Structure 1
Amino acid sequence: MGIISRSAAGRKPNESMRLIVTTFIGVVFGFFVGVSFPTLSLTKLNIPSSLLPTVDLSYIEDKKSGISTQTILNAWSSTRSNNSSSTQSNDTSKIWVTSNPRGAERLAPGIIAAESDFYPRRLWGKPSEDLTIKPKYLVTFTVGYSQKKNIDAAVKKFSENFTILLFHYDGQTTEWDEFEWSKRAIHVSARKQTKWWYAKRFLHPDIVAPYDYIFIWDEDLGVEHFNAEEYIKLVRKHGLEISQPGLEPNKGLTWQMTKRRGDREVHKVTEEKPGWCTDPHLPPCAGFVEIMAPVFSRDAWRCVWYMIQNDLVHGWGLDFALRKCVEPAHEKIGVVDRQWIVHQSVPSLGNQGEVKDGKAPWHGVRERCRKEWTMFQSRMANAENAYFKSLGSNSTTH
């Protein structure tokens, strides 16, 4: 009995020590596992999807990286969804969609937002509830603050169906907040720039895609006899893709085509001075509006935007080339007589030029306008000739 007692007493300290050592090693091992686990990539763990509902991830959060538990759960949910619908790899580096816009080939088509808009958004609430109304039309004015009364009168002719966009060539923007509508308008400012400079840079077809019609107007237009909603109705009725309001006939006119006729709603052809029109279906007798107050359909503007040159900022020559963007031009380009305007011919932008050789600023501006007209015509002719030459044809367009 004594031997048995001594043997039991001799083993007890050894077993106690072994238990302590084992416990210590377990604690150390558990510590290191706990420290290293958050740095592991969960997406690389091959865990059967049937076990996922039993895994509690509520404690997994990398506070340093800002990745939340919800983000991880969403990633798991997305992975499970992809696995259930397809056996293909979900490695995003393997995405390449040639039909995507250039530069976006690596994106899944479902995430691409190829178009945008000018709709203002709130900084709070649900995005789906931001817009109480989506305007269907866009009107732009290139303005200086000295024309504020005229622009105020013009803007009031456009209903809430229109987004108002002001391009400021004099740098004054906040001053317009004296008008209530200005606080809802979009303001873009770049000093001493023209309407077509702005249009090329801020009215890309993918930006204005939500709008059925785009008005690109000067600041010196009298609109006493104009109603925008009625104008749209007439444009739709007569199938006009490019149009303008008729001009008051008692003011100085450059072209007979834009002169208002009192006996009709719309006209698409006119008679000019002898020799001015080589074809009754060609400008300036048809397929022609001026660049002071043009209105474009969405589809027509997509073509016209690409035709605007980056360095030819006055737009001279565009009016004769607009016909190339619609077919047949003599039927889809016209002047709306029932809704008419007055061109006041205020040389405000012209005065933004510089005095040179003792001449007023507008002289230099007008000289450049004429040069740009010649340059644009030359570029258009050269481009078309090069195109037909590449086809092995000597034919040209009229």
Structure 2
Amino acid sequence: MGIFTRSIVSRKPNESMRLIVTTFFGVVFGFLIGLCFPKLSLTKFSLSTSILTAIDFKYTEYTKLGPSSSTHVSHPVGNNGSSANVTLRKIWVPSNPRGAERLPPGIVRAESDLYLRRLWGKPSEDLTSKPKYLVTFTVGYDQRKNIDAAVKKFSGNFTILLFHYDGRTTEWDEFEWSKKAIHVSVRRQTKWWYAKRFLHPDIVATYDYIFIWDEDLGVEHFNAEEYIKLVKKHGLEISQPGLEPNKGLTWQMTKRRGDREVHKETEEKAGWCNHPHVPPCAAFVEIMAPVFSRDAWRCVWHMIQNDLVHGWGLDFALRKCVEPAHEKIGVVDSQWIVHQSVPSLGNQGESLDGKAPWKGVRERCKKEWSIFQTRFSRAEKAYLKEINSTSR
């Protein structure tokens, strides 16, 4: 017992000394680490900043001549840490589309398309073919059989786009072609409302010709590929198929001639044309089944008014978009259609003041015609006045 007791007492001073020494060295080591840490952190920060500066420099450096704002910075050059003044140019390219002036031109894609793409695989392998033409129909489901017959007249060279004014889209999947078509659905809207909002020239720029057609057209005597050949042959920028004379005919100009491929002028009632080269005697097609070249559509789209949705009056103004209009606007007689005059869109109106829905729609059409004519006349007069004032 005595030996055991002395052993315990003799260990305590040794253990205490060891604890003191360990604590001391721990404090000293921690102090040294604390002194070194800010330098280490600063070194890492400086390295990161250098890398980011180099990346930013490579991205923003722009040597193309033109307006730009410049910033002078000191940038390290070489391994010896020397530095040199470098001018960084913020990209500003006035020739880029509006809103994209700050982008490098090589990344700008100002135009798009309506080609359908996959969700997998390589983007470069998405498209097995690229249709050259676009055909749109503004439709209600009740006219599905008529549209089915019409779509079958258009080959695989055409993208099919349906604008649904009745909100019914999934039902069209009964037709195999519908599964590959593009469907846009907004209730109670006209084809010109759709065209203004979904057929911007930069969106349809990949198509050589754009067909903007009604749903009530009989196409038994029509072939789209042959139609395109005739349009190209006769240099038509704006055109339409001839109309069967015995039904749905309003103007002599759109009446089918049985003795020719194409006609570009006609005779109308006395007093209707103040010159043989102006509508409705020439440079005129109706808005039920127009076909536009890419360049003509770019002009026509800008002429369509946002609030005038029926398009009445456009047909008399289309000549402003091509020159000479009486040579580049015409009717294709050998590929003709029948206007069935189905008042389906008229039934989408509402009854006001005891009037039938279609009457209210017809009144709006006539009112829009007058508004459009007034706007166009005032715009031309204002422009001519401005030109005359600046030329003095």
TM-score when normalising by structure 1: 0.81
Post-superposition Cα deviations, 1:107-155, rounded to whole Å, max 9, x if no partner, equal 1111111011111111111111111111110000000011111111111
The correspondence of residues 76-115 of structure 1 with structure 2, limited to 5 A, is: 79=58, 89-90=87-88, 94-115=90-111
Question: How far apart, CA to CA, are the structure 1 residues paired with 2:48 and 2:60?
Answer: 16
Matched ranges for 1:196-207 at <5 A? 196-207=192-203
For 1:140 and 1:107, locate their aligned partners in 2 and report how far apart those are by CA, in whole Å.
34
TM superposition shift of 1:168: 0.6
Structure 1 CA distance for aligned equivalents of residues 308 and 147 of structure 2: 26
Q: Quick check: 2:160–2:181 contact (8 Å CA) kept in 1?
A: yes
Q: Secondary structure at the match of 1:204?
A: coil
Counterpart residue number, 1:44:
50
Of 183, 190, 193, 2:189 maps to 193
What is the distance in 1 between the residues matched to 2:145 and 2:162?
14
Q: How does 1:156-171 map to 2 (within 5 A)?
A: 156-171=152-167
Q: Distance in 1 between matches of 2:59 and 2:24?
A: 45
What pairs with 1:50-65 in structure 2 (closer than 5 Å)?
Answer: none
Equivalent of 2:235, from 234, 239, 246?
Answer: 239
Tell me by how many angstroms 1:358 deviates: 2.5
Does residue 173 in structure 1 map to residue 169 in structure 2? yes
Letter of the 1:44 counterpart: S
Per the normalisation by structure 2, the TM-score is: 0.82
Query: What do residues 236-281 of structure 1 show as CA deviations (whole Å, max 9, x unaligned)?
Result: 0000000000001111411010011111100001111111111000
CA distance in 1, matches of 2:95, 2:60: 25
Task: Give the aligned length.
Answer: 350
Cα distance between partner residues in 1 of 2:240 and 2:163:
20
SS at match of 1:335: strand
Distance (whole Å) between structure 2 residues aligned to residue 290 and residue 236 of structure 1:
20
- Per-residue CA shift, 1:8-47, capped at 9, x if unaligned? xxxxxxxxx9999997677667777777877667463499
Match of 2:368 in 1: 372
In the other structure, the counterpart of 2:9 is: none
Residue in structure 2 matched with residue 279 of structure 1 by the alignment: 275
Q: Secondary structure at 2:388's aligned position in 1?
A: coil
- Taking the aligned partners of 1:101 and 1:268, their CA distance within structure 2 comes to 37
| CA distance 1:318–1:37, shift in 2 (3 Å) | farther
**Using a 3 Å threshold, how does the CA distance of structure 1 residues 157 and 43 change in structure 2: closer, same or farther?**
farther
Work out the CA distance in 2 between the residues paired with 1:85 and 1:240: 41
Q: Say which one has the larger Rg.
A: 2
Two-structure CA RMSD over aligned residues (Å): 3.0
Q: Aligned partners of 1:99, 1:154: CA distance in 2, in Å?
A: 42
Secondary structure at the aligned position of 2:315 is classed as helix
* 8 Å Cα contact 2:93-2:101 kept in structure 1: yes
Aligned to 1:62: none
What is the SS of the residue equivalent to 1:134?
Answer: coil
Distance 1:122 1:264, change over 3 A: same
Matched residue SS, 2:282: coil
Offset, 1:359: 2.2
User: Residues 34 and 41 (structure 1 numbering): CA distance in 2 closer, same or farther, change over 3 Å?
Assistant: closer
Which residue is equivalent to 1:53? none
Identity among equivalent positions (%) equals 76
